[in-house]
Chains A and B, each alone.
Chain A
């Protein structure tokens, strides 16, 4: 991991929003290094700050929000210092592209699919109209649009939801970005389409070699796509590591809770594990561990002092006092012990999720 090249490095980023007369601290000091060619997934619930954090990479924070601390380094430039659209030219949509949840919001409903793709190609690559069209059709074929040439002049409403998301991907990739941010790219789609879109993004990544940053609340998607995972809660990354480490050896009680409450792991007739209460209000200053009030394993110190990151392995860190040598030993909940064996059993022949 050490020799791998870092493409983007966020350090101690803090983002505040001004809402009427109050300040909301949406991101409370988050650091993240993205390695070239990897897929990093940020998991979190709504309000955890996962979208806001990645918006600082493309300068798309809402106008009442701003980065109040920290830096985001990309190609030797601090992205938090960029202000105008002109500053962002050549980065946003070019080197760092984003795919959003609802494809309809990124497409212009009254322009043809073809013209929307060629526009991006022309703008970023400065090629002629006919070349741009040829490239656009090629891109459409690449994302799996059959008879792309004949569908070139159709409008977004003539495409199904899954097809639209494919077009959005084509537009995002048509200027060969280095980083692709996928903000819940499949949440608005049907389950059977979801799998197709995810594998499309993965195939294109292998082919084109970009770095992918997934934002999702769905641990199933994470398991499928990610090399590394960061779990966000209350505006902070509270645990990160390789995907196997997060699923098979999680250390933060919040990660435990997220995994344990998955209905896939439920047994009929038994209660599912669940977390009580609600995420913290980010209007107030958070003292100690943000998850403490909902954490049945909370220590007294969790209410007093914010935990630092404790090292589990070279690649795996968790922000919980439970890893402090002075803390009592506590094993993860029963449901997620031997997770791999359990899941393997479910998907093997005769298991509930086995298919052939």
Chain B
């Protein structure tokens, strides 16, 4: 191809022209959401999870279920019914709807695990961040950590449940009074990894205070690992709750909970296995979907996936 002759002239040259960045503007949170919603499976699980949580929060209000209200206890026809169109999950040994029991239990389990996780993070993250930053604090905090982490959890749960009595308040205290230090320890280690990076030294040279550095330099880098931690903590606290209730140290017999239901229905495992498996299944679905959504969120929060 013969090029046009007047093309052989000097083009205009602007020095600042080459400084422009042509790539579309980057926004951290927008990229997080975009990455998260790109995967169809993740979106499906997230929708399911939101539905389950909403349903667990609303359904018990409509049914008014309580393990101590047993209108059908003397009606043999209403006991141990198999799941059917009329009784979705069937009925239990006292003639109550398993469907109502499971959702009321799920509601309490979810509330407890979310509240406990929230408290643990609220206390653990700032303490852990400071702990990781200050070498002086590290020296005595590590001793505190050694002591607390060596207290057997079951022993503590037993003592607290005797002192405070059963109930939601005492269960939340049990699951937060020592758990925060594990969060703090985790954050401390993460902070120590990035504490000595050069950009932090640069901030120090600009006179930035420790708290500002924690807020602006450290925590934004930890969003992803904190999300990973949360996504494991919530399901694990649900199973703690189930475990404690199962052991009789949890919410007590007057409150519905998944642990309570599982513990209660275990006796009928042989004759009516669905009584046992339905709450266990619901527990598994909630835990797994919480975990998956949390992990995918954590992945999306890692800017290395934003390419």
Contact = CB atoms under 8 A, between A and B. Distances in A.
Interface of A: 19-20, 276-278, 281, 292-305, 321, 324, 326-328
A196 B107 CA distance: 73
Given A19-B307, A20-B307, A305-B3, A294 B10 contact: no
Contacts of B17: 277, 293
A321 B4 CA distance: 13
B19 A276 contact: yes
Contacts of B307: 19-20
Interface of B: 1, 3-11, 13, 15, 17-19, 23, 307
B15 to A, nearest CB: 5
A277 B19 contact: yes
B303 to A, nearest CB: 13
A299 B19 contact: no
A302 B11 contact: yes
B117 to A, nearest CB: 33
B291 to A, nearest CB: 25
A299 B18 contact: no
B3 A304 contact: yes
B42 to A, nearest CB: 17
A139 B117 CA distance: 62
Nearest to B17: A293
Given A304-B3, A305-B3, A326-B5, A299 B11 contact: yes
A298 B5 contact: no
A300 B19 contact: no
B9 A328 contact: yes
A136 B3 CA distance: 60
A301 B4 CA distance: 8
B36 to A, nearest CB: 15
A297 B10 contact: yes
B10 A299 contact: yes
A298 B11 contact: yes
Contacts of B1: 305
Contact of B7 (A20, A278, A292, A300): A300
A298 B13 CA distance: 8
Contacts of B10: 297-300, 328
A300 B11 contact: yes
A264 B274 CA distance: 83
Which of B7, B13, B17, B19 counts the most chain A CB atoms within 10 A? B7
A301 B18 contact: no
A299 B7 contact: yes
B18 A321 contact: no
A327 B8 contact: yes
Given A19-B307, A277-B19, A299 B9 contact: yes
The 10 residue pairs across chains A and B that have the minimum distance between CB atoms: A277-B18, A301-B7, A326-B8, A300-B7, A296-B13, A298-B11, A300-B11, A327-B8, A276-B18, A276-B15
Given A19-B307, A277-B19, A301-B3, A324 B11 contact: no
Contacts of A298: 10-11, 13
A281 to B, nearest CB: 8
A39 to B, nearest CB: 34
A165 to B, nearest CB: 26
A282 to B, nearest CB: 13
B280 to A, nearest CB: 40
Nearest to A294: B18
Contact of B11 (A19, A277, A281, A303): A303
Nearest to B2: A326
A304 B1 CA distance: 12
Nearest to A275: B18
